[in-house]
């Protein structure tokens, strides 16, 4: 059996005539009893654990019952049955004997922890069985590394996947509580921010459900990103407190800990090998969170790393001397690595902390993966088989350091050659790209990385040298301009000297050109000397190449002038005027592409942009590496559990609940789309969800809204490219036009709407925070305008997270996915909304393109410029040819009139004005798309007035959403990238 098995003891809460309480009887007669009983066991010939004896401690003090002999229990819980009485006893047991609260009372928050720990017992046992079996058959396993896992609440998801919802609901009812009320006590795990983390969590659900052998790796953030408060000044950030009362789902593995090193230096030992010594060392300790599959025993693992230092690092002498801060400094430096998600990186300290986070994730995870490979392989270990047993997926560029870290482990610690290690690394690692935004393609300061991770920089430099040689070999030297271009774009480290053998290719040509004019450089020795002088002067002057500059940095093309400049630089006669030396930067995305065997985008349009634009040079170089894997979301959490009203309708009309696992069955709804009976049921379910949301909004924001109004929702991270600003400007335009009408005209012209926003702006993203402030100011004005009443409401829901989404999405009728075309990689909330019978308004961006294809063009409200037009539109703007629409200018003037308070919005609106420059020129084309957006919103109103037409569109959205299950996405990853197969437990 696996050495990671988790056992505990059970204690009955009420003695019975035969010596066992109901709880104990439940535990002894079910497979889960292994989780509670103190076991004395021996190995059978088949290697399985056979229970020999167990004892149960009575509630009566100092009394132990005689041991009883137990037979091997059934491996199928369904054969035992799970009744409410036994579950209630289990919950009572944990309330008393797994205490996180004082013993008095049994209130909802205490009940949540006791219930969660009761459910966790089943998960632990299934987890143990899953990984014991994987170990025994030594199956290939995928490891998914992500800085974010946005899980949401786990209780309802866990009991739903285990098919225990009924027994647990009945058990809690017998204890005087409702399952829903108990579940609502659970805080959202603050392990992510947006779509990146939610996607990762959906993938884990699908991996478990589909029986794929896999693990997730992340960091155990104490405070996550932040908790968002909305005040009169807009967004305010406070520390997230999700761990204050503990996390009942996690299992600390104090025996699973790995050293992680920073700083220090690299030396060459007598054996000729490079060794990283000295520096600062911390320990990464594993916390495991079981992830159950739906209707399967397979339970996979999310392993989160927490950071600390050994007790020996506590400076007791300094503490006793009164130097308390100094004494605790090592602990603080270690622990702060996992304090928060994405610490601000405006300072060098912030940058260092972020890089430490990324390396901690990579180093601890890879050490763990390597240790598991070695343990599973035993005496048969063969490093060449590593890629046949391990697949590592990097979710975005945050885990890029996996590449040099795996190389370091294989070369420095395991003794492999460079060639062997590089082959293994490239065959093992793969990269998912999530952005086309240049600023989001991670780069790290070479100097910072060299200081923090000196050995890794050496390895990256060697990878870079090999890449440069490969580029030269492929493109040759006959067309040096082409070669310059390829090197500039594809190099991993920018603004660093090329290897001498390559740089001389260009320098010799330049010096020869100068020599032809002056007749001075005739011999090879003179040529070599001039070349060396030129290279020296180039480095001292900070002449660096870039994609759009000549390679030697000399702008004059006249030969005589070029010769004079060479002479001037070499003689150091005059200090030339050059721009500041550009910093050396490590391009993490380039390293991902070079170091892995697969690169995938997350939607068809995004993957094409990746191939044809963002990484076109790499695509030409390695076309076989590039793939598309359109994102998906789990239909368990995002329909089955969060929207039971809709789920029941789907099961009724499809005649089965198989759609939860086989979402292609949703397409069969299309034949019922015109049925009056289905439409009536459909509308009733939507209204019921809207009524639930009305209560939630009142509780959370204080605003009362009309459930008969259209619920129009945009929830996502606040960012200029996602264009919440376009949405709120459209609302302002609507409001202004309403104010210019009589009450009767308003009612006739406009459908009542509740416009709901949610999302967090990053703490240092000033413009995004201005957008939040503006939305809340507009809402405060409109919501208190008696002329408007229930015809228009604007609500900003604070602290948007998964649990809030589970309330908003089922109640939504129109959802806005309106990013500038070509800038959203995929999006996943659009999929969730479509699944939940919501109609989308959006641009042809990200997964919108494919959603529109699947649900039907007539069932999607489309507006705006297309991706291929964006470059031309920005150029037109820069040339001063853009003429803004009158309605757009009208809206800005209305805002500046003070209609929404005295706050000065010049900086916000200024970003939409001018023709070019940072923070100017309307880079995200809000003004360009504004008239198209307003016209499209008028079509929305017109359609909503026809309930039958709207409901039909709504049904067809759910029917067409079948493609966007994360199950389909995971099947594709498993087949095309990881080469893993499902493994069902015996």
Q: Determine the straight-line distance between the first and last CA of the chain, rounded to whole angstroms.
A: 15
Q: What DSSP character marks residue 612?
A: I
Listed residue (852, 800, 817) closest to 726, CA to CA: 817
Check 722, 746, 770, 874 and give the catalytic one.
Answer: 722
User: Residues 6 or more apart from 900 whose CB is under 8 A from it?
Assistant: 732, 774, 777, 778, 780, 781
Q: Are strands 280-292 and 299-308 parallel, antiparallel or unpaired?
A: antiparallel
* Dihedral over Cα of 584, 588, 592, 593: its sign: negative
Sole residue written with tokens 């709407």: 753
**Active-site residue identified among 443, 716, 769, 817:** 716
Question: What does DSSP assign to residue 635?
Answer: H
DSSP string across 713-746: EEES---GGGTHHHHHHHHHHHHHHHHTS-HHHH
Q: What is the largest CA-CA distance in the chain?
A: 112
| Token pair recorded at residue 277 | 């010594």
The tokens of 773 are what?
A: 């402030």
Is-catalytic flag, 434? yes
Q: Would you call 507 a catalytic residue per the annotation?
A: no
C-alpha span between 756 and 423 (Å, rounded)? 51
| E-state strands within 363-413 | 390-395
Beta pairing partners, 733: none
What is the 3-state composition of the chain as percent helix, strand, coil, each rounded to the nearest 5?
50, 15, 35
| Active-site choice (434, 443, 486, 629) | 434
Q: How far is CA 455 from CA 449, 462, 819, in A?
A: 10, 11, 41
Q: Which of 115, 209, 776, 828 is catalytic?
A: 828
> In terms of Cα–Cα distance, which of 242, 145, 150 is closest to 196?
150
Answer for the pair 362, 258: CB distance below 8 angstroms, yes or no.
Answer: no
Residue positions counted in the chain? 986
Active-site residue flag, 760: no
Q: Which two tokens stand for residue 504?
A: 């001389």
**What element of type H or E holds 533?**
helix 524-541
DSSP helix/strand/coil, 227: strand
784 is a catalytic site residue: no
Determine which one of 491, 717, 719, 877 is catalytic: 717
671 is catalytic: no
Active site residue 326: no
139 in Cβ contact with 132 (< 8 Å): no
**Strands of 597-640, DSSP E:** 599-601, 626-628
Contact 113, 959 (CB under 8 A): no
548: exposed, middle or buried (C-beta count within 10 Å: 0-12, 13-18, 19+)?
exposed
Cα–Cα dist 122/162, whole Å: 9
Query: Rounded to whole angstroms, how far apart are CA atoms 117 and 158?
Result: 11
For the beta carbon of residue 900, count every other beta carbon within 10 angstroms.
20
Q: What is the three-class DSSP state of 235?
A: strand
* Residue 41: φ, ψ to 5°: -135, 165
Sheet of strand 443-445: strand arrangement: 443-445, 585-587, 493-494
Region for residue 485 given its phi and psi (left: phi exceeds 0; alpha: psi -120 to 50; beta: otherwise): alpha
Of 198, 690, 832, 874, which residue is the catalytic one? Answer: 832
Residues contacting residue 442 through CB under 8 Å, at least 6 positions apart: 397, 398, 400, 587, 588, 589
Asked whether the beta carbons of 632 and 968 are under 8 A apart, the reply is yes
Nearest to 555 by CA among 540, 543, 567: 543
Query: Do 943 and 949 meet the contact criterion of CB atoms below 8 Å apart?
Result: yes
Which residues have C-beta within 8 Å of that of residue 496, sequence separation ≥ 6? 446, 464, 584
What residues are labeled active site? 434, 716-717, 722, 828, 832
């Amino acid at each position: 059996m696996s050495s990671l098995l988790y056992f505990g003891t059970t204690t009955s809460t009420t003695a019975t005539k035969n010596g066992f309480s109901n709880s104990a009887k439940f535990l002894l007669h079910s497979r889960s009893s292994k989780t509670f009983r103190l076991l004395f066991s021996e190995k059978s010939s088949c290697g399985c654990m056979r229970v020999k004896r167990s004892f149960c401690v009575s509630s009566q003090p100092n009394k132990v019952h005689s041991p009883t002999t137990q037979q091997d229990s059934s491996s199928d819980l369904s054969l035992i049955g799970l009744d409410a009485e036994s579950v209630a006893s289990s919950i009572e047991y944990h309330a008393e004997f797994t205490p996180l609260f004082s013993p008095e009372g049994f209130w909802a928050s205490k009940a949540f922890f006791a219930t969660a720990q009761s459910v966790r017992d089943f998960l632990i046992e299934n987890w143990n069985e899953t990984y014991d079996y994987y170990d025994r058959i030594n199956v290939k396993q995928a490891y998914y590394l992500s800085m974010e896992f946005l899980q949401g609440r786990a209780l309802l998801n866990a009991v739903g996947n285990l098919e225990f919802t009924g027994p647990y609901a009945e058990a809690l009812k017998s204890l005087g509580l409702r399952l829903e009320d108990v579940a609502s006590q659970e805080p959202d795990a603050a392990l992510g921010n947006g779509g990146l983390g939610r996607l990762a969590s959906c993938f884990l659900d699908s991996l478990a459900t589909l029986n794929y052998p896999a693990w997730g790796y992340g960091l155990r953030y104490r405070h996550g990103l932040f908790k968002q408060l909305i005040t009169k000044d807009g967004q305010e950030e406070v520390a997230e407190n999700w761990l204050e009362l503990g996390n009942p789902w996690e299992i600390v593995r104090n025996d699973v800990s790995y050293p992680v090193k920073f700083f220090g230096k690299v030396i060459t030992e007598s054996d000729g090998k490079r060794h990283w010594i000295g520096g600062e060392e911390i320990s990464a300790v594993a916390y495991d969170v079981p992830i159950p599959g739906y209707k399967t025993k397979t339970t996979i693992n999310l392993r989160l790393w927490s950071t600390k230092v050994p007790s020996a690092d506590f400076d007791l002498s300094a503490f006793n001397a009164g130097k308390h801060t100094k004494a605790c400094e090592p602990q603080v430096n270690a622990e702060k690595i996992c304090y928060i998600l994405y610490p601000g990186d405006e300072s060098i300290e912030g940058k260092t902390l972020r890089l430490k986070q990324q390396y901690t994730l990579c180093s601890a995870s890879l050490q763990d993966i390597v240790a598991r490979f070695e343990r599973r392989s035993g005496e048969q270990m063969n490093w060449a088989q590593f890629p046949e047993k391990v697949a590592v997926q990097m979710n975005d560029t945050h885990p890029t350091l996996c590449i040099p870290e795996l190389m370091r482990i294989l070369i420095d610690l395991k003794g492999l050659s460079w060639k062997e290690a590089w082959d293994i690394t490239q065959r093992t690692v793969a990269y998912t790209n999530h952005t086309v935004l240049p600023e989001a393609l991670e780069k790290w300061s070479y100097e910072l990385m060299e200081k923090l991770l000196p050995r890794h920089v050496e390895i990256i430099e060697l990878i870079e040298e090999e890449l440069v040689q490969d580029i030269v070999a492929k493109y040759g030297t006959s067309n040096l301009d082409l070669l310059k271009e390829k090197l500039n774009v594809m190099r991993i480290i920018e603004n660093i000297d090329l290897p001498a053998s390559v740089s001389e290719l260009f320098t010799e040509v330049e010096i020869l050109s100068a020599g032809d004019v002056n007749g001075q450089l005739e011999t090879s020795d003179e040529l070599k000397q001039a070349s060396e002088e030129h290279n020296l002067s180039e480095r001292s002057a900070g002449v660096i190449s870039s994609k759009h500059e000549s390679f030697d940095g000399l702008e004059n093309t006249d030969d005589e002038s070029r010769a004079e400049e060479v002479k001037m630089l070499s003689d150091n006669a005059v200090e030339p005027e050059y721009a500041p030396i550009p910093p050396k930067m490590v391009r993490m995305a380039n390293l991902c592409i070079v170091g892995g065997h697969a690169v995938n985008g997350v939607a068809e349009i995004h993957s094409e942009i990746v191939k044809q634009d963002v990484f076109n040079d790499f695509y030409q170089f390695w076309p076989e590496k590039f793939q598309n894997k359109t994102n998906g979301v789990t239909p368990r959490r995002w329909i089955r559990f969060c929207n039971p009203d809709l789920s029941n309708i789907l099961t009724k009309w499809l005649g089965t609940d198989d759609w939860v696992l086989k979402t292609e069955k949703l397409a069969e709804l299309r034949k019922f789309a015109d049925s009056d009976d289905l439409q009536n049921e459909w509308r009733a379910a939507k209204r019921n969800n809207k009524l639930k949301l009305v209560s939630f909004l009142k509780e959370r924001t204080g605003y009362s809204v009309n459930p008969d109004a259209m619920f129009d929702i945009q929830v996502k991270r606040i960012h200029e490219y996602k264009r919440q600003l376009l949405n709120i400007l459209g609302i302002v335009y609507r409001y202004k036009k309403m104010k210019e009408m009589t009450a009767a005209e308003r009612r006739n012209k406009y459908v009542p709407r509740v416009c709901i926003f949610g999302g967090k702006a990053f703490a240092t993203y000033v413009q995004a925070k201005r957008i939040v402030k503006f939305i809340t100011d507009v809402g405060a004005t409109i919501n208190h305008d008696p002329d408007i009443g229930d015809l228009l409401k604007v609500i900003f829901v604070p602290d948007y997270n998964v649990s809030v989404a589970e309330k908003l999405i089922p109640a939504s009728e129109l959802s806005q996915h309106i990013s500038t075309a070509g800038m959203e990689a995929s999006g996943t909330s659009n999929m969730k909304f479509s699944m939940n019978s919501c109609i989308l308004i959006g641009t042809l961006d990200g997964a919108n393109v494919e959603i529109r294809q699947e649900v039907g063009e007539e069932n999607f409200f489309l507006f705006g410029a297309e991706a291929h037009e964006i470059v031309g539109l920005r150029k037109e703007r820069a040339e001063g040819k853009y003429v803004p629409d009158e309605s757009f200018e009208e809206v800005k003037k209305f805002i500046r009139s003070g209609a929404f308070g005295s706050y000065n919005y010049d900086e916000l609106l200024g970003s939409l004005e001018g023709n070019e420059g940072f923070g100017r020129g309307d880079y995200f084309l809000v003004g360009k798309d504004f008239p198209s957006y307003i016209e499209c919103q008028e079509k929305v109103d017109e359609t909503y007035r026809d309930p039958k037409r709207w409901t039909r569109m709504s049904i067809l959205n759910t029917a067409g959403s079948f493609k966007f299950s994360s199950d389909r996405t995971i099947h594709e990853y498993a087949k095309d990238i990881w080469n893993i197969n499902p493994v069902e437990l015996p």
